Structure 1
């Protein structure tokens, strides 16, 4: 049971002593950055599967729609929830997701329905005729053009060859430190940027331009190459299985809270968002 304290109180009241037979976890134990959340549940399932344990998870996603945010975090989370149908399937675990219509917009609830093959209704569990398989769902998500970066950004550095990447990493590290990110978080911002820049050199076309700025207690890193080569919608959602698997975008999706891509006008852009509060959740912060 990974639910809010209010929901836990309701369920405990209904179940009485039987509630003690359930394993409870606060939402903060699982819900962090969108990629971390996805991987945390994945690790939990792997561990239980290795022990040959059969579990059922009931989870209440800790995401909200914030119209003032520069990125739609809830929509990004639903992409991960779509992929759980494929990535978690091998562990044969039943997962029930609790979404509240009074907390989320009708548009978001419609998207949520599309990524769940079954729905709990007044008639019990019924098949969802509107279910869209993960690959089709991600491919069908529109990639609207990203808002242009500010005219002047805190970091603006161009990488033309592999030897230039170190200077880019150093610039991003200085900037994130100046934004009061703790060393662990700084390292994660730098690592995510490094992976995306390296991908731009390897799979796109140099020069690769990296710009970074802050907005509403959020660090934003924008990496653009000149290849104009679209990034497949599913890339970075499947964990690497063998060392030969490409892990760059997987790692970047893990370390950034939200990562979005767009290809147009001969350019491929990857933009990463690092909200201060979410990035520092469960990190050890020096006092």
Structure 2
């Protein structure tokens, strides 16, 4: 098993280049520094960035391993978990690695999606990985091109990365916030659900989950979802609804609607049990003290984005399933 390390030592850096020269200069210098510090350097970047790094005179022979972005950047929770598993597997082999990642968030579900779209939902994972990736003794550098992202997004990037990478090297980010503080500051009331939805059911007992499964599966199929993505949607929503029935011990209202190619489901209960802001971001284990955290973790792997609004007297969980993302 990997040795547990302080989260303060985890080098999670953001590179925000404003030009190709800045990107190549900063990243090439960082790669050369990493050559002697790590057993492997994995780059999961766009074809354009790869071409910039491999074209002469910047070619770095024998130094890099290239990963397919499509293999990592699928659903947001799955992308986060794929990188975690890779780091864990390397740590189990007593190997330290440096991951250079360029998030691919191009498939955005549109204005009815999470705040700041998929980018905002992904940044929550960037905040949490400062804790969850730390035990593996590796480094992660994320490339956020300032020519492609607006200033408000770049500010959030600096808040979720402990360091900023520049041509001069790695510098502490003055905007960095610990995961709990960052997530708490970004938990906001969900946008109102539409008045007219595709389905609206209130469940009072676990036995009713069977009918919910059938309804959700038919709904997803009608909206053009293939069998496997439809099954993932059903499992995610039923898991959240079942958590409410079992742990909140109150009726659970389940609403389902669509916005363009995105299917959206929301589960509401009236128990008002507080849900920690980090619930569902950590893999389940025997030490889990929050039962809902295990269900949310599974839901985050199967949905593209999951938003939680927990206030006294009500808990709402909204799940997003964009067709393009679910069928990658």
What is the aligned partner in structure 2 of residue 112 from structure 1? Answer: 157
Matched residues in 1 for 2:274 and 2:48: separation?
43
Name 1:272's counterpart in structure 2: 319
Does the CA contact (< 8 Å) of 2:44 and 2:66 recur in 1? yes
1:142 matched to 2:187? The reply is yes
CA RMSD of aligned residues (A): 1.9
Cα distance, 1:129 vs. partner?
2.3
Alignment length (residue pairs): 280
The worse-fitting range, judged by mean Cα deviation, of 99-108 and 58-67 is 58-67
1:152 to partner: Cα distance: 2.4
CA contact (8 A) 1:34 1:77 kept: yes
Q: CA deviation at 1:169?
A: 1.4
Q: Which residue of the partner structure matches residue 192 of structure 1? A: 236
What residue is the counterpart of 1:12 in the other structure? Answer: 54
Aligned counterparts, 1:55-66, within 5 A: 55-64=97-106
Shift in CA distance, 161/77, structure 1 to aligned 2, threshold 3 Å? same
Q: Contact between 1:3 and 1:59, CA under 8 Å: does it hold in 2?
A: yes
Matched-pair contact (CA < 8 Å) for 1:226–1:266: yes
Does 2:129 match 1:84?
A: yes
Question: Which residue among 235, 253, 259 is the counterpart of 1:209?
Answer: 253
Report how far residue 265 of structure 1 moved.
Answer: 7.7
Matched, 1:250 2:301: no
Q: Which residue of 2 aligns with 1:103?
A: 148
Q: 1:186 to 1:67 in 2, by over 3 A?
A: closer
Q: Does the aligned pair in 2 maintain the 1:230–1:262 contact within 8 Å?
A: no
Q: Which runs of 5+ in 1 are unaligned?
A: 282-287
More displaced stretch, 9-18 vs 45-54: 9-18
Contact 1:64 1:74 (8 Å CA) reproduced: no
Equivalent in the alignment of 1:285 = none
State yes or no: 1:157 paired with 2:196. Answer: no
Give the Cα separation in 1 of the matches to 2:94 and 2:215: 47
Following TM superposition, the consecutive aligned residue runs of length 4 or more in structure 1 with deviations greater than 3 angstroms are: 14-17, 64-68, 243-246, 263-266
Q: Say whether the 8 Å CA contact 1:205–1:226 is kept in structure 2.
A: no
Residue 123 (structure 1) shift? 2.8
Partner residue, 2:12: none
Partner of 1:284: none
Deviation of the 1:216 alpha carbon: 1.4
Structure 2 residue 174 is the aligned partner of structure 1 residue 129: yes
**2-structure distance, mates of 1:15, 1:243:** 51
Asked whether the 8 Å contact 2:163–2:171 carries over to 1, the reply is yes
Question: Are the counterparts in 2 of residues 5 and 26 from structure 1 also a CA contact under 8 Å?
Answer: no
